[in-house]
Amino acid sequence: MSVQFEPIRAEPAYRKVAAALRERILDRTLRDGDRLPAETELARQFGVHRSTVREALRELQTGGLLSRRPGSKRLAITRPTTAIVAAGVSHALALHDVTYFDVWEALMILEPQIAECAARRRTRKQLLHIAAAEERFATDHADTASAVHHAAAFFRAIAEAARNHVLVLAQEPLLQLLESSLVRMIDRVPQARDRIAAAQRRIRQALDAADPEEARAWMSRHIRDFRRGYELAGLARTHLLSRS
């Protein structure tokens, strides 16, 4: 039996430059806030054209690893925001035929644990953020998209109170998908707003009381209720990119 090999692919020079810079950023040789040398100096060090360096820097900017501060001509190292990291994941999930049920099932695994951690670790300031998110959802009677934004903010505030950045990063792609699904569900299920507001109140009360078991239990009920809403709206097995 003869062994078959794939052809070796030549990688564009700008990708190699981007990879070299990314490696120095990830191993913390270049740290948050450090400014990069000018494009001409980077081109000299890498032995490439300035246009190649510019394309590499553009790729790293898109990924959130570089940014240009106001008034500065030179790029600096930055940490990608949670939203930027999550956006690529949520787009990939949608393109892989993820359904509303898939999002619900993942939230059912993740959110009760986040609520439990938050009940154990929350600070007074974080409780105020959670209560503010709850209040905004309960009192915002504008369009559905605005209400859904506040519902997602409630989940994000609880994740911040859990004080585990891995949980925050795991949650965010699901919340980005949840927002689009909730808009469609709330528009089709009139009682959804009241049920969400009631669940948020009970979860916030459990967090105030520093009661991990109650926080987990009410978050589980809250997420289970989303499934019922999807079923009533006829969305449970619908793909996220479907327009039906």
pLDDT in tens, 181-201: 788 888 888 899 999 999 999
Distance of CA 146 to the CA centre of its chain: 18
Same domain, yes or no: 30 and 97: no
Same domain, yes or no: 191 and 95: yes
pLDDT score of 219 more than 90: yes
Where is mean pLDDT largest: 88-97, 138-147, 154-163, 179-188?
154-163
pLDDT tens track for 45-69? 999 999 999 999 999 998 889 998 8
Answer whether residue 238 is part of any domain: no
Per-residue confidence (pLDDT) for residue 244, from 0 to 100: 54
Same domain, yes or no: 69 and 89: no
Could you list the residue range(s) of the whole structural domain that residue 104 is in?
83-233
Domain boundary among 31, 54, 77: 77
The CATH number assigned to the domain holding 133 equals 1.20.120.530
Residue 218 · residue 112 · CB < 8 Å = no
Residue 152 · residue 179 · CB < 8 Å = yes
pLDDT tens track for 75-99? 999 988 777 777 777 777 777 778 8
Domain boundary among 35, 52, 77: 77
d(CA 219, CA 198): 11
Answer whether residue 134 is part of any domain: yes
Same domain, yes or no: 27 and 135: no
Residue of 240 and 139 predicted with greater confidence: 139
d(CA 203, CA 126): 14
